[in-house]
Amino acid sequence: MSKVAVFALFVLISVSVHAGDTISVKLRITDLYTNTKLGGVSVINQLAGVTLATDAEGMVDLQGDKGTTLFLFYPGYKTTRYILTDSAGKKSYNMYIAIEPLSASLNQPVVIKAPKTLEDIEAERKKLGITPRELQKPEVVFTSPITALYDILSNRAKERDKLRQQIAEDDKRRIFKELLYYYNENGLMDLPEEYFEDFITYCNLPSDYLKVSTDYEITKTVIDLYKRYGLDRGFIK
């Protein structure tokens, strides 16, 4: 697994405490490529219904029990999940986490990945829209309709929905990029990588289309859009 994948997908904080004990964490969040400190990153403990934000130095203080799952959300960056887990014997930590932008500029390092087959990509397409367990809506307890209504309308529910939408969008764009790498590799198109993000936005294909369509249907649609896009952008005459 690449360093990018390790940092961008899961960051494990190791602790050794008894269940129910509180862990204190001083967290600094930076850009994976430039090491820029990121202020205003939302750090969300969905289970506890708590959302904190990093300051101008990219810092935030938080607390949680071992096993707590936290989400990092920042516009323009991949939504990142990390878990407070148990292995080392400390009750407080200084953590530094680098998150990955959704689009890469030309001065960022190139990560070489083994090309995926259409079968690999299809398996990932079929999983589009699956919500992480931590963000699934809790069952409504009807002993208190007022409480149930409050939860539906509260910031907690809004944060949960926002995160679900962001994760779904991240997954869609990641899988779409894998298709574009495959098409380029196999000579079906010649789209420069710096155009990938803009082209994905241009296509505006919904997740459901990528999830249920055949490889042939998707390929035909994307190639047709690529020809139109190339004419619009001037690199196809």
Walk along the chain (237 residues) and give the pLDDT tens digit of each residue. Answer: 444 433 433 333 333 334 456 778 888 899 888 888 998 888 887 677 778 889 989 999 888 777 778 888 887 788 888 777 644 556 777 888 888 887 654 445 444 454 677 788 888 888 776 666 655 555 544 445 555 555 555 556 676 677 778 878 888 888 898 899 889 888 889 998 888 989 999 999 988 888 888 888 999 999 999 999 998 888 777
CA distance 65 to 76: 29
What pLDDT sits at residue 15? 33
pTM attached to this predicted model? 0.49
As a whole number of angstroms, the distance between CA 67 and CA 48 comes to: 12
Residue 10 confidence (pLDDT): 35
Helix count and strand count (H, E) for the chain: 7, 8
R_g (Cα) of the chain, nearest Å: 20
> Which ranges constitute the DSSP H helices of the chain?
3-9, 118-125, 145-153, 155-185, 196-203, 207-212, 215-233
Class of domain 3-99: mainly beta
What per-residue confidence (pLDDT) applies to 2? Answer: 46
Residue 101 tokens read as 């932008």
Domain extents in the chain: 3-99, 118-233
Nearest partner of 10 among 61, 72, 59, 63, judged by Cα: 72
Residue 125: the pLDDT is 81
Half-sphere exposure of 3 (CA within 13 A, CB side): 7
